[in-house]
Structure 1
Amino acid sequence: MTSLRPNGAAPCPKKNPPSLQRRLTWPWFLVVTVAYLAIIQGAGILVGVDTSGAKGDFPTTEAVLRDGLIPVALSVLFGAAVVTRLGWWSDVLHYRAPVRRWVWCVPISMLAAALLAVNYGNLAAQPLSLVLSLLAMTLLVGIGEELMFRGIGVQVFKKAGLGEGKVALWSSLIFGAAHLSNALSDGGQAIGQAVIVSTSGFFLYLCLRAGGTILLPMLVHGLWDFGLLSSMAGTDPEGYPGIAVPILLQVVLIVLLVVRRRSITPAPPHHAAAPGAPLPEPAPER
Structure 2
Amino acid sequence: MKSTVRVQPKLWIGFAIWIGYVLAVLVVSKLAGVPYTALGDSGSTLFRGAGLSLIVGTVLLVITTTLLGWWRPAIFDSAVSTHRWPIIAPILMAALLVLNLVLTDWAAFDVAFLAASIVLLLVGFTEEITTRGLLLVALRSRLGEVWVWLISTLAFALMHYLNVFLGQGFLPTTGQVLFAFLGGTIFYILRRTTGSLIWAMLLHGFWDFSAFAIGYGTSAALGSITGTLYLVVGIFALVAVWWTFPRTDAEKLALQAGASRSGLSGPASRSSEAV
Same fold (TM over 0.5): yes
Alpha-carbon distance between aligned partners in 2 of 1:152 and 1:50, rounded to the nearest angstrom: 29
Alpha-carbon distance between aligned partners in 1 of 2:7 and 2:197, rounded to the nearest angstrom: 20
Alpha-carbon distance between aligned partners in 2 of 1:238 and 1:211, rounded to the nearest angstrom: 34
Alpha-carbon distance between aligned partners in 1 of 2:195 and 2:63, rounded to the nearest angstrom: 22
Alpha-carbon distance between aligned partners in 1 of 2:243 and 2:34, rounded to the nearest angstrom: 48
CA displacement at 1:94 relative to structure 2: 1.2
Alignment of 1:53-64 (within 5 A): 57-64=39-46
Alignment of 1:3-22 (within 5 A): 15-17=2-4, 20-22=5-7
Q: Which amino acid aligns with 2:91?
A: I
Identity over aligned pairs, percent: 25
8 Å contact from structure 2 (residues 79, 195) kept in 1? yes
Alpha-carbon distance between aligned partners in 2 of 1:92 and 1:228, rounded to the nearest angstrom: 26
8 Å contact from structure 2 (residues 44, 112) kept in 1? no
RMSD between superposed Cα atoms in Å: 2.6
CA displacement at 1:49 relative to structure 2: 4.1
Please, which moves more after superposition, 121-130 or 100-109? 121-130
Aligned residue pairs total 248
CA displacement at 1:29 relative to structure 2: 2.6
Q: Given the superposition, is the C-alpha separation of residues 182 and 266 from structure 1 closer, same or farther in structure 2, using an over 3 Å criterion?
A: closer
Tell me the secondary structure at the aligned position of residue 32 of structure 1. helix
Please, which moves more after superposition, 260-269 or 178-187? 260-269
TM-score, normalisation: structure 2: 0.80
Tell me the secondary structure at the aligned position of residue 219 of structure 2. coil
8 Å contact from structure 2 (residues 214, 223) kept in 1? no
Tell me the secondary structure at the aligned position of residue 7 of structure 2. coil
1:80 to 53, 57, 62: 62
1:251 counterpart = 2:232: yes
CA displacement at 1:193 relative to structure 2: 1.7
Q: Which residue does 1:36 correspond to in 2?
A: 21
Q: Which residue does 2:185 correspond to in 1?
A: 202
Q: Deviations for 1:162-191, whole angstroms, at most 9, x for unmatched residues?
A: 222221111001111111111112121222
Alignment of 1:147-166 (within 5 A): 147-160=129-142, 162-166=143-147
**Higher-RCO chain (CA-CA 8 Å, sequence separation at least 6):** 2
1:227 counterpart = 2:214: no
Q: Given the superposition, is the C-alpha separation of residues 23 and 242 from structure 1 closer, same or farther in structure 2, using an over 3 Å criterion?
A: same
CA displacement at 1:106 relative to structure 2: 2.1
Identify unmatched segments of 5+ residues in structure 2: 251-272
Q: Which residue does 1:10 correspond to in 2?
A: none
Structure showing greater radius of gyration is 1
Alpha-carbon distance between aligned partners in 1 of 2:107 and 2:57, rounded to the nearest angstrom: 30
Q: Which amino acid aligns with 1:194?
A: V
Alpha-carbon distance between aligned partners in 1 of 2:35 and 2:194, rounded to the nearest angstrom: 40
Q: Given the superposition, is the C-alpha separation of residues 269 and 157 from structure 1 closer, same or farther in structure 2, using an over 3 Å criterion?
A: closer
CA displacement at 1:74 relative to structure 2: 0.6
Q: Given the superposition, is the C-alpha separation of residues 190 and 255 from structure 1 closer, same or farther in structure 2, using an over 3 Å criterion?
A: same
Q: Given the superposition, is the C-alpha separation of residues 44 and 80 from structure 1 closer, same or farther in structure 2, using an over 3 Å criterion?
A: same
Alpha-carbon distance between aligned partners in 2 of 1:31 and 1:198, rounded to the nearest angstrom: 21
TM-score, normalisation: structure 1: 0.77
Q: Which amino acid aligns with 1:110?
A: M
Q: Which amino acid aligns with 1:101?
A: R
Tell me the secondary structure at the aligned position of residue 196 of structure 1. helix
Q: Given the superposition, is the C-alpha separation of residues 44 and 240 from structure 1 closer, same or farther in structure 2, using an over 3 Å criterion?
A: farther
Identify unmatched segments of 5+ residues in structure 1: 1-13, 271-282
